[in-house]
Amino acid sequence: SQTIHQWPATLVQPVGSPLSLECTVEGTSNPNLYWYRQAAGRGLQLLFYSVGIGQISSEVPQNLSASRPQDRQFILSSKKLLLSDSGFYLCAWSATGAGTDTQYFGPGTRLTVL
Amino acid sequence: AQSVTQLGSHVSVSEGALVLLRCNYSSSVPPYLFWYVQYPNQGLQLLLKYTSAATLVKGINGFEAEFKKSETSFHLTKPSAHMSDAAEYFCAVKEVAGAGSYQLTFGKGTKLSVIP
């Protein structure tokens, strides 16, 4: 069966510090991968998605970036965090191919920027 | 672009009472619709999905939802609330994102409280 991992689970960082959040998927090949951010009272916002290694699409302009160095690894980064980057970050995956319409979410990372 | 609107950011029901969480969608094509549940500090778990087959969709934990095209709605119901149903619920619509992928556009969520 497929599983999705995220780490760290929680993170407290000062403004201006760098960020690296990692997401890995097991039990599937060539998944589509997604990063979402959930801020209080604002629902989920899609940040990035990837259909393959090195292929990243950005949905929202911001000081965050994403990379996919391996097939089942998705990394969210920032060079300098802002207060507004605080939130709950969720990684998700979906299978590729016809009829694939469900996204499966990881446990999330709670980021607090002080 | 597709969108979803969830009516009511907070809903409270008594244990054993009917749960009704409302979702209306806007879509220019036949939609794929989803309901997810999120427990505190956890990821989202799929409850059920509508993919243009039966209009009444049954999901996990006794939940079901009915797709009504005439009302552009996909409301989530459960006949009898349990304390363990207390969580936040998100309605989402599938939208093509390009490059062979798609995205889910989520509503802002409805937090369900169950009163003993």
A36-50 tens-digit pLDDT: 999 876 788 889 999
pLDDT in tens, A81-113: 999 999 999 999 998 765 567 899 999 999 999
Query: Min CA distance, B76 vs chain A (Å)?
Result: 18
A55 contacts B90? CB cut-off 8 A: no
How far is A23 from chain B, CA to nearest CA, in Å? 13
Search chain B and give the residue with CA nearest A5: B43
Give helix then strand counts, H and E, for chain A: 0, 11
Q: A81, A104, A93, A91: which is closest to A6 by C-alpha?
A: A91
CB-CB under 8 Å, A101 with B103: no
Nearest residue to A91 via CA among A71, A65, A73:
A73
The residue-averaged pLDDT of B28-52 equals: 89
Whether residue B30 is predicted with pLDDT greater than 80 in this model: the reply is: no
Mean pLDDT computed over B105-112 = 93
> How far apart are alpha carbons B8 and B52 in whole angstroms?
26
Using the predicted structure, report yes or no on whether residue A68 has a pLDDT greater than 80: yes
CA–CA dist A11, A14 (Å, integer):
10
Q: Residue B101's pLDDT is what?
A: 67
Q: How many CB atoms lie within 10 A of CB B104?
A: 27
Integer angstrom CA distances of residue B76 from A71, B5, B14, B22: 36, 13, 17, 6
Q: Does B34 touch chain A (CB under 8 A)?
A: yes
Give CA–CA dist A66/A89, Å, rounded: 13
- CB contacts < 8 A (A, B): 61
